[in-house]
Structure 1
């Protein structure tokens, strides 16, 4: 869901990922704001099997007293501003009354929410504000760490490609279990 026109979003997606490479994945495009509950209900966010909240890096804001025609007056949204929007959206999704992930004890309890965060401090706020099914991914540190590991051990890129390719029907979820630290089998 974006402020762009629905047809424009579909066209950008069609050009980026051809249909044969989608492997049957269905995406819903709608114009609206992910911060408005009525817009989230319009796209049936409560019935989604999984929701990915992407950090808004494209929005530009005017800085200082410059005019809109001055190319130096365009700045990218700061990481803190982008993370604040992601956290607000995650809280809204978490609080939807009929969200699939809220129904426990049934096969339908699979509504995962993955939120991209650009700062480490926002990860703690997200964990405090949302239920455990909302998973924050700090992409600022994640990519740097992966790059260092791939330089030290090139086979890691092959392993990462196998784990995170979406050609197979298996899903990959990572979760920490602090209560198991130090236990032996």
Structure 2
């Protein structure tokens, strides 16, 4: 039985040995094939809300997929995720028990709060809660089986892509990454 991840998994991400496991997942042929397939799909279908970051072997749901301070995916982004990449990710997880999935939400720091969000899409002013809720929205859109151990985390605005402009939409994103489980 696979271990169930807890809040401890966040601390493990900071440990150098875990970084090597992360690197091993990128080399894992199943994960690499899934990333390649998703990359080809993104290009062939012209998916606007999904990009591949090959040097990190991750799938990124772009910040434009969410309104400021909204935890909900817009309709187009949700469709791109659920109809295009969910099955490919699930197939990879089914075929290789040595990999799991981490879904990491990241927030920008909006210069003004958007007050026109539907009430069921609003989230906390707390960037960590917001980023976790966004990661959870992507996880739901992937529609993956509950049989898989999937680590869902919220990084808040701790990992800005554009540090010069913390309110930049590119800082608000959800990253999906295959993680190689440590082999004991």
Taking structure 1 as the reference length, what is the TM-score of the superposition?
A: 0.32
Q: From the CA coordinates, give the structure whose radius of gyration is larger.
A: 1
Higher relative contact order (CA 8 A, sep 6+): 2
> Hey, which of these two has a bigger chunk of strand by percent?
2
